[in-house]
Amino acid sequence: MKHYTLLSSLLIYASLSYGQILNIVAHQDDDLLFISPDLLHYIQTGQEVRTVFITAGDSGRDESYWQGREAGARSAYAVMSAAPDSWTEKDAGIPGHQASLFSLDQDPGISLVFLRLPDGNLLGQGFEETGSESLQKLWEGGISRIRTVSGSGSYTKGELVDALVHLTSEFGPERVNTLDYVQEYGDGDHSDHHSTGYFVAEALKRYGNESTLAGYVGYPVVNKPKNVEGADLLDKKFAYYAYASHDPVVCDSDMACADPTFAPYYPEWLERRHTVDTSPIANAGTVQVAGLDTVVTLDGSASSDPSDRPLVYEWTQVSGPAVDLKDAETSHPYFTTPSDPDSLSFELVVKNKQTSSSPAVVRVTTMQHPENIAPKARVTASSSNDGSSQTPDKATDGSTGGFPAGHSNEWATDGGKAGSWLTLSWESPQTISRIALYDRPNLQDHITRAVVEFDGGERIEVGELDNYGTLRTVNAAGRTARNLTVRITEVSPSTTNVGLAEIQVFGTSCHAIFLRTFTVFETSPAGLPSASSVGCWQGWSAWTVYRTRPDASTASTTTTDTTTTTTTTAEATPTPTDGSEEADSESESTSGQDWIAGAVVGPVAGVAIIGVAVFFYLRSKKRLLAAPVQQVYYQGPHYGPAQAAQAAPKNAVSLGTSELANAQYRYGSTGAATETQGFPVAEMPSTRQTHELSSRR
């Protein structure tokens, strides 16, 4: 689902090979409330997961209600699997009994079995509508047989145990999860919860295999400490709310669960997960995006033990190019990322002295430009639902959440459908490599087609976004732009307020790259200036400024300056000849020139120019100069149309023999020449930066 966030995601957890997990619970939300986030971890790590629901969860209601609960269970598992809610039904194969087995079409390793026995009510008294039958009465011998609500058959106590043994042996699980089989009836838990735990424990004894049995605390978990947080809590909520959208008697959003009708129980159930054997919970941290050849530290510090016992950490790399994982037995192991873009997964299992946790997995995606530059942009939109704080800036707030869990963390239009748009604008050009789009995670508002637009009319068609809010990645292929618009062109028929939970833009901000110190030359060197790589784009383009002055032979003083000077730029790189000779030939051809090395930028197809404001070294009073005329020439390809500007004659700052002066420059995409502190610079509406130039005689 979406919040493995990476990036949940850059899609996120690979299908890994683990043992099979069998969950056997009473009602269609027990696994979502009480076994999760372990349930989430099993699915995220690619394990085959089958859940058996013993009762129909009918609560004495009609067929439409319990069928809706089954639909909710299927919806929740589709959300957890980040798959379409499409299933194939067949018979579960229990000898002498009929039961439905549903397999998820996109991932058949996810399956659900419904036995459809009647809900036994909170205290085991049953409901009059189903003959007051209950699992507790069957377990304790109060009734000899219990009938299914669908009319498909009935079970004795022994037949129900046999059915569970058959389902277990056919699936062959490594681990069987159920509800509380340790405590007794009357402790505040639902009667069906204990009954299910008792039946499963008995079946496991008869099964005789070495499958691990785990019992999870039900309603009384509210008396335990909170231990579900962060991405685990968000994902747990989304799965539960997907179920709840089919169950009219429970809360289906954070707002609804805060109502006194449901609070404090539902919020507190969602924030907790405890087992009867007090097993710990592993938390492998959040999805990370990192650069190449950089050190990444994983974070398992949110793992917990219900009794606060010391934990032993076991980290293992489970996918991606092999790396040397250091300190893998601690909460914060680290490694150096590969030199090429890729995706790596790491599994964490924590142990106390008695038991181990279910595995948790985190994904680390490496790329050339790992920075999410979306939060640096100004965000505007066609409309927004300001009354519920679903404003455009919420699409870049760093949270991939949204309604039904955290509605104020998403952008939503005010009645917008197809034709709605969201625009990100930066002060300077950005090189963009990848875009991640997250639809609003509710099941009603759904973007089925969109287009991403860049400066100059470039467009990338985007297909359907995942309706659960899982990310959709768009490859921007290093495009350079100051403006990026997501234009929604098609929505689902049920959409009423289209929007985005989040947009992430991975790239580089050129204004974060600084020029070096430049030397002011008294005469132009024979060759082109050395240049400092600013590392923004591939390729090179130089911008050189000359100040003309009279030939030295005509000056009143014939002093000759023979000082040899070089630029002080670091990591010097030759400027290419592409167009540069032609630019130089247009400069004044006097025998003496004051010369300043221009900034060098790297363009790919259409590149931003970095303008350098120039300081002119004026001769001492013994060598009077004519009024300076300053000309700007652009060499090689660059971002936007070529420009040449002639500034009016101006006397610049006078520098002494070794004085330092501050130069200010601004840069951006296009614009006519303007003046800053008396020097011509390109009109670049972005942040000013200050750099020093050194002056020499």
pLDDT digits (tens, 9 = 90+) for 236-285: 999 999 999 999 999 999 989 999 999 899 999 999 999 998 789 999 99
Q: pLDDT-derived band of residue 428, with 50, 70 and 90 as boundaries?
A: confident
pLDDT digits (tens, 9 = 90+) for 114-127: 999 999 999 999 99
- How many percent of the chain have pLDDT more than 70? 70
Residue 521 clears pLDDT 60, i.e. is over it:
no
Higher per-residue pLDDT: 667 or 424: 424
Question: Three-state SS string across 92-134, please?
Answer: CCCCCCCCEEEEECCCCCEEEEEEEECCCCCCCCCCHHHCCCC
Q: What local confidence, expressed as pLDDT, does residue 655 receive? A: 31
Q: Give the pLDDT mean for 571-586.
A: 33
Cβ(532)–Cβ(602) under 8 Å? no
Q: pLDDT-derived band of residue 519, with 50, 70 and 90 as boundaries?
A: very low
Buried b (16+ CB within 10 A) or exposed e, 552-575: beebeeeeeeeeebebbbeebeeb
- 339-348, 402-411, 598-607 — most confident range: 339-348
Q: pLDDT-derived band of residue 557, with 50, 70 and 90 as boundaries?
A: very low
Q: What local confidence, expressed as pLDDT, does residue 88 receive? A: 98
CA distance 109 to 275: 25
CA distances from 530 to 130, 209, 613, 658 (A): 88, 74, 17, 22
Closest by Cα among 317, 314, 322, 323 to 346: 317
CA within 13 Å, CB half, 121: 15
Cβ(239)–Cβ(32) under 8 Å? yes
Residue 512 clears pLDDT 80, i.e. is over it:
no
pLDDT digits (tens, 9 = 90+) for 670-688: 333 333 332 333 332 233 3
CA distance 45 to 14: 7
Q: Residue 511 gets which letter from DSSP?
A: G
Distance of CA 140 to the CA centre of its chain: 51
Structure tokens at 399: 């949270």
Q: Report DSSP letters for 198-240, one per residue.
A: HHHHHHHHHH-S--EEEEE--GGGGGSPP---HHHHHHHHHHH
Q: pLDDT-derived band of residue 187, with 50, 70 and 90 as boundaries?
A: very high
Structure tokens at 558: 């014939």
Q: What local confidence, expressed as pLDDT, does residue 477 receive? A: 85
Helix ranges restricted to H, 527-622 = 580-585
Higher per-residue pLDDT: 38 or 518: 38
Residue 690 clears pLDDT 70, i.e. is over it:
no
Q: What local confidence, expressed as pLDDT, does residue 510 receive? A: 52
CA distances from 128 to 27, 63, 135, 252 (A): 19, 15, 15, 28
SS3 for 393?
A: helix
Residue 558 clears pLDDT 70, i.e. is over it:
no
pLDDT digits (tens, 9 = 90+) for 454-474: 987 899 999 999 887 777 889
Q: Which amino acid, residue 296?
A: V
Cβ(462)–Cβ(450) under 8 Å? yes
Q: Give the pLDDT mean for 409-424.
A: 96
Q: Residue 486 gets which letter from DSSP?
A: E
CA distances from 357 to 212, 216, 278, 590, 606 (A): 12, 13, 10, 80, 53
Structure tokens at 81: 């699997």
Closest by Cα among 302, 313, 304, 298 to 350: 313
Q: What local confidence, expressed as pLDDT, does residue 444 receive? A: 87
Residue 331 clears pLDDT 90, i.e. is over it:
yes
Q: pLDDT-derived band of residue 373, with 50, 70 and 90 as boundaries?
A: very high
Residue 174 clears pLDDT 70, i.e. is over it:
yes
Q: Give the pLDDT mean for 647-665.
A: 30
Q: What local confidence, expressed as pLDDT, does residue 442 receive? A: 87
Q: What local confidence, expressed as pLDDT, does residue 12 receive? A: 34
* Beta strands in 306-359, from DSSP E residues, in sequence order: 312-319, 334-336, 342-351
Q: Quick count: other Cβ atoms within 10 Å of Cβ 551?
A: 10
Q: What local confidence, expressed as pLDDT, does residue 598 receive? A: 36
Average pLDDT in the chain: 76
Closest by Cα among 374, 368, 372, 345 to 291: 368
Q: What local confidence, expressed as pLDDT, does residue 591 receive? A: 31
Q: Give the pLDDT mean for 425-433.
A: 90
Structure tokens at 163: 């059915």
pLDDT digits (tens, 9 = 90+) for 602-650: 333 333 333 433 333 333 333 333 333 333 222 222 333 322 222 222 2
Q: Give the pLDDT mean for 552-574.
A: 32
The mean-pLDDT minimum among 79-93, 152-166, 260-274, 398-412 falls in 398-412
CA distance 501 to 392: 10
Closest by Cα among 79, 384, 94 to 239: 79
pLDDT digits (tens, 9 = 90+) for 58-112: 999 999 999 999 999 999 999 999 899 999 999 999 999 999 999 999 999 999 9
Residue 173 clears pLDDT 50, i.e. is over it:
yes
Q: What local confidence, expressed as pLDDT, does residue 469 receive? A: 75
Cβ(143)–Cβ(156) under 8 Å? no
Structure tokens at 511: 């204004």
Closest by Cα among 46, 33, 114 to 76: 33
CA distance 518 to 569: 6
- How many percent of the chain have pLDDT more than 90? 57
Which domains occur in the chain, in start order? 21-271 (3.40.50.10320), 288-366 (2.60.40.10), 371-507 (2.60.120.260), 515-548 (no CATH)
Distance of CA 461 to the CA centre of its chain: 21
